[in-house]
A and B are shown apart, each in its own frame.
Chain A
Amino acid sequence: GENVEQHPSTLSVQEGDSAVIKCTYSDSASNYFPWYKQELGKRPQLIIDIRSNVGEKKDQRIAVTLNKTAKHFSLHITETQPEDSAVYFCAAASGGGADGLTFGKGTHLIIQP
C-alpha cells in the first residue's frame, strides 16, 4: 500500500517569513495530493490539493508543488500570519480521487510573533 512520509514534524518560523513542508510517497500510481490544516481540537480542513497532471498550484499565500518523478510534493506558505499556526497534513491517493487517502504524520507549524 501507499506510504507517506512528512517532514519536519515541527516547524517554527517568524511571522512574515515563509514555511515549507515536504512529503514523499511510495506508490507511483498515486495521483491526488491534498493538504489539510487541523487546529487544536478541530476537524481537518482542506486548504489546497493538486493532481498529477500539474506540477504546481497556487491559492493566494499557499502553493503546492509536485514532482512525480521523485515522488515528492511540498506545501509553501508565504507571508505567514499567527492564524497559520496549526498542524498540517499531507495525503496521497490513487484512483483519481479521494478514496483511501493515506496521510502523513503531520507538521506542527508555529508562527512566532
Chain B
Amino acid sequence: GAGVSQTPSNKVTEKGKYVELRCDPISGHTALYWYRQSLGQGPEFLIYFQGTGAADDSGLPNDRFFAVRPEGSVSTLKIQRTERGDSAVYLCASSLGPYNSPLHFGNGTRLTVT
C-alpha cells in the first residue's frame, strides 16, 4: 500500500543535540538507503542496508552519524552532537533488492540545526 514513510517531516534542533530520524520502507523491500540532500544539490549517499546489516556505510561523513535497522524493516538514522553543517533534507529510499530494482524515495526529513 503506502510508500516510504519518514518521520518527522521537519526537525529543528540546537547545535550539539542528538537527533533520530525514522524511515519506514515499503513492505517487502529488503534494501534500504539513506541519502542527504542539501539545497541545490543532488542526493548524497550515506548508507545502504540489505536486511538488517549495513552493506555499505562508506557515505557516512563521520562517527557522529550512525544508522540501524534491527529487524530488517524500519531504520533509524542517528546524529550525535549535531552541527549547523548537518542541516539538510535526509531522504530514505527502499527497493525490492540490491539488483534490478528502482529506488522509491520518502518525502524526507528536513533537519535544521540552529
Q: Specify whether A and B are partners.
A: yes
The residues in B between 69 and 108 inclusive whose CB is less than 8 angstroms from any CB of A are 91, 95, 97-108
Chain A residues with CB under 8 A of B44: 103
Counting CB contacts under 8 A, is A29 at the interface? no
Q: Mark A73-95, 1 if CB is under 8 A from B, else 0.
A: 00000000000000001010001
Interface string of A41-65 (1 = CB under 8 A from B): 0111110010100000000000000
Docked complex Cα distance between A105 and B99 (Å): 24
CA–CA, A98 and B56, complex, Å: 12
Known: A97-B99, A106-B40. A43 touches B105 (CB 8 A): yes
Within 8 A of A (CB), among B41-60: 41-45, 48, 50, 55-56, 58-59
* A101 B103 Cβ-Cβ under 8 A: yes
Is the C-beta of A8 less than 8 angstroms from some C-beta in chain B?
no
Q: In the complex the two chains form, is A99's CB within 8 Å of B31's CB? A: yes
The answer, among A6, A46, A102, for a CB contact under 8 Å with B103, is: A46
Task: Using A43-B91, A43-B107, A100-B56 as known contacts, say yes or no to A89 and B98 having CB atoms under 8 A apart.
Answer: no
Q: Chain A residues in contact with chain B, CB under 8 A? A: 1, 4, 6, 34, 36, 42-46, 49, 51, 89, 91, 95-106
